[in-house]
Amino acid sequence: MRAMILAAGLGTRLRPLTDRTPKPALPVVDVPNIVRTIAHLRGAGITELVVNLHHRPEVLRALLGDGTALGVSIAYSEERPEILGTGGGIRRARELLGDRTFCVVNGDALFAPKLATAIAAHGSSGAIATMIVRRDPDAERLGAVGIDGDARVRRLVDVGAERRDLALHMFTGVHVLEPEIFSLLPESGCIVRGTYMPLVRAGGPLGAYVDDGAFCDLGTPQSYLDANVGLASGRIRLAGYEPPPAGVHVGAGAVVSPGSSLLEGTVVERGATVGPGVVLARCLVRSGASADESAAGAIFCEGGGRIQF
């Protein structure tokens, strides 16, 4: 099976963190999130990958190469001059994805779903596409995915909103798709609005798989900090990752000056510096940045910038 990682987005809400780095390449506890995603796909036996590119494509190409170092093979689909959206991006990569069942994963979330189980459920469902969803009390605001007792999507955002007999969930950005989906994809634009909502309206074969694994969106500076703090402290648990002692991560080559104090949930990336006497709690010090003042709930950026929450 092949998988596509959606990595073309501009990361507008994450600026200035994404000015020079595409969102999927931003590290969570010193590991680029897309590298974690690739490791999870490889663990599920998926080693043929397609990555779409638009914003700062050279950064992702340099980071991932052809995938050999990560135990996979990677083909790239570069979107120029315009970004094509999720639906258009998948459609553009049709020749690379082939004519078999495939997965699509958003590159902007810290999430490790039970892919093998989801793929098996999809295979036995007869669905043309299966959305991996999760329970969330805020599902209505986030764009509800309403599923019936047969795991069929019967509501999506405002389509089917009149139904009250459905369990509401949130879409995680991970899909399992049949190649027949290509004929329904828009040339540009969102797969949810351009393909899935019309399918729901027509009563088509759109499935859902509920996964209750840890999920953390990386779409804003606050959620990006929360992911780093949560993973380092152990509040977010991912299979194969063991939180560091005292919930504090200090990367290779980082300098932590005498008299400083790093409290639970603090991440000091490789090559970063913490000044003398500085006390940090729930902070992220980016690679190449220097934390010269005490803070709680902040991101210290390379070049002297600081994002305080």
Give me the CATH number covering residue 20.
3.90.550.10
Any idea which of 11-25, 64-78, 267-281, 283-297 has the lowest mean pLDDT? Answer: 11-25
Contact predicate 188/88, CB 8 Å: yes
Residue 96: closest CA among 34, 47, 41, 49: 49
Pair type for strands 31-32 and 27-28? antiparallel
Task: Tell which of 188, 217, 246 closes a domain.
Answer: 217
Order the strands of the 279-281 sheet from edge to edge: 261-262, 279-281, 295-296
Do 196 and 242 have their domain in common? no
Do 10 and 57 have their domain in common? yes
Do 110 and 200 have their domain in common? yes
Task: Tell which of 217, 235, 268 closes a domain.
Answer: 217
Do 120 and 194 have their domain in common? yes
CB atoms within 10 A of CB 190: 15
Burial of residue 216 (CB within 10 Å: 0-12, 13-18, 19+) is buried
Task: Tell which of 217, 251, 267 closes a domain.
Answer: 217
pLDDT over threshold 90, residue 240: no
Joined tokens for residue 231 = 């993973």
Do 147 and 55 have their domain in common? yes
Would you call 122 helix, strand, or coil by DSSP? helix
Whole domain around residue 63: which residue ranges? 2-217
Mean pLDDT (whole number) for 211-235: 94
Question: How confident is residue 11, by pLDDT bands cut at 50, 70 and 90?
Answer: confident
Domain count, the chain: 2
Do 208 and 248 have their domain in common? no
pLDDT digits (tens, 9 = 90+) for 259-298: 999 999 999 999 999 999 999 999 999 999 999 999 999 9
Summary mean pLDDT of the chain: 94
Do 134 and 233 have their domain in common? no
The pLDDT > 90 percentage for the chain reads 86
Is the overall model pTM greater than 0.75, yes or no? yes
Question: How confident is residue 23, by pLDDT bands cut at 50, 70 and 90?
Answer: very high
Do 296 and 175 have their domain in common? no
pLDDT score recorded for residue 238:
87
pLDDT digits (tens, 9 = 90+) for 40-62: 999 999 999 999 999 999 999 99
Greater confidence, 160 or 97? 97
Nearest 5°: the CA angle 188, 107, 173 is: 70
pLDDT score recorded for residue 120:
96
Do 137 and 280 have their domain in common? no
Do 51 and 149 have their domain in common? yes
pLDDT digits (tens, 9 = 90+) for 150-203: 999 999 998 888 888 899 999 999 999 999 999 999 999 999 999 999 999 999
d(Cα 209, Cα 105) in Å, to the nearest integer? 14
Do 68 and 180 have their domain in common? yes
Do 96 and 226 have their domain in common? no
pLDDT over threshold 90, residue 38: yes
Mean pLDDT (whole number) for 220-247: 93
Residue 156: closest CA among 140, 172, 136, 175: 140
Contact predicate 54/80, CB 8 Å: yes
